Structure 1
Amino acid sequence: MRTIKSILKLVSNVFGVVAMAFLAFLMFGITADVIARALTGDPISGVFEMSELSLVMIVFLGAMWGQQDRAHIRVNVLSNRLTGLPHRIAMTFAWGCGALALLMLAWPATQDAIYSVSIWEFRWGYIQIPIWWTKVGLAAGLWFAAVQMALHAVSALIEDEPDATTPWPEG
């Protein structure tokens, strides 16, 4: 279990760094585009299209990173009132449902990514932008997040889950 958690933490950190790079592009690219529009009246070609793709990458690659530190919004009215075995069962059920939901999204996203890569899919805007790589990133983010949530479910059943403010334990 410790090895799997370590691997998922490494993947999560890599995905998080990539998501932050796309966030940096959004901040600096859109700022530069606004300045260019103000000065010249014309946008920087491709910034709008890359901004759309960057948002996809931030959400689906950053989801796992957020989950690592329990940073997602959680409704814990019931789980805060439970202790011991009932708490572990409730958390196992919740994380299991989350993993199942992500798996139900990951499967069609993977099929779409495979098709997209097979035709080297792109979209038109001011310039032609390939989008197949974002579909691959989306599918990978969903699969890894599903595995991570499934591991959280197993971990919650075996050992009582820490509260929402405590990061995922290393061991």
Structure 2
Amino acid sequence: MLHKSTLRSFLNAVSRFNTGLGSASGLATMLMMMIIVPDVILRATISFTIPLATEIGVLLLICKIFLGMPGAQASRANFHVSVLTELLGERWRKALRLITTLISIGIIGLLAWLTTQEAVYATGIGETSYGIYPFPIWPERIIVAIGFVLLTIQLIADVIRTMTGLPDDIAPEGSGIGPE
């Protein structure tokens, strides 16, 4: 059995990694603007489009969304409604949080498995888009799979933290994770 301090360090490392990856995915927004804004201006003014600007923009959007999801979960930035749960006692809130996170693990875990299968297949055949310029799609599929796998791992870390009562050194206070 793992010592509580070792487990806490591991869970915090998972959360820190996911939070860092989520922050890094924010760079995709800047890169998207650097590609899409000039493309729109050129298209509107001189009817010229930057080759592959749309495809690169889609790739960056996928990075932003799917690599940001685990970080959002780790920092408790995901949307949640707490109107009814705040009426419950602490034990019921913890039980409900545990149940909903376990359901999320099942659903997100299934998506992780399916998208991983699709990423392996797409990579194997070297899937590309059909257009004037062929653009590889398989990296996008890998990014989606990685995002779902990391989100599943973060959700598992959240369940372990909730069950053991270990505090979360990453999530802001009042996030409902660990003892408060």
Give the alignment's TM-score, normalised by structure 2.
Answer: 0.83
Task: State the match for 1:89 in structure 2.
Answer: 95
Q: Encode CA deviations 1:40-65: one digit per residue, 9 max, x unaligned.
A: 21110101111122222211100011
Task: State the match for 1:55 in structure 2.
Answer: 61
Select which of 42, 46, 49 maps to 1:43. 49
**Contact 1:88/1:160 (8 A) holds in 2:** no
Select which of 116, 120, 128 maps to 2:122. 116
**Contact 1:91/1:157 (8 A) holds in 2:** no
Residues in 2 aligned to 1:19 and 1:134: alpha-carbon distance in whole angstroms: 14
Task: State the match for 2:78 in structure 1.
Answer: 72
Q: Counterpart amino acid of 2:130?
A: W
1:158 CA displacement: 2.8
Residues in 1 aligned to 2:90 and 2:174: alpha-carbon distance in whole angstroms: 18
Task: State the match for 2:141 in structure 1.
Answer: 135
Residues in 2 aligned to 1:102 and 1:166: alpha-carbon distance in whole angstroms: 21
Q: Counterpart amino acid of 2:101?
A: W
Select which of 25, 38, 47 maps to 2:31. 25
**Contact 1:109/1:138 (8 A) holds in 2:** yes
Structure 1 runs of 4+ off > 6 angstroms? 160-164
Task: State the match for 2:3 in structure 1.
Answer: none
Task: State the match for 2:4 in structure 1.
Answer: none
Pick which of 68-77 and 6-15 moved more: 6-15
| Structure 1 unmatched runs, 5+ | none
Q: Counterpart amino acid of 1:152?
A: D
Residues in 1 aligned to 2:173 and 2:106: alpha-carbon distance in whole angstroms: 21
Give the alignment's TM-score, normalised by structure 1.
Answer: 0.87
Pick which of 114-123 and 13-22 moved more: 13-22
**Contact 2:129/2:136 (8 A) holds in 1:** yes
Q: Encode CA deviations 1:130-170: one digit per residue, 9 max, x unaligned.
A: 1111111111110110111122122223328888754967x
| Structure 2 unmatched runs, 5+ | 1-6
Task: State the match for 1:8 in structure 2.
Answer: 14
Residues in 1 aligned to 2:23 and 2:177: alpha-carbon distance in whole angstroms: 18
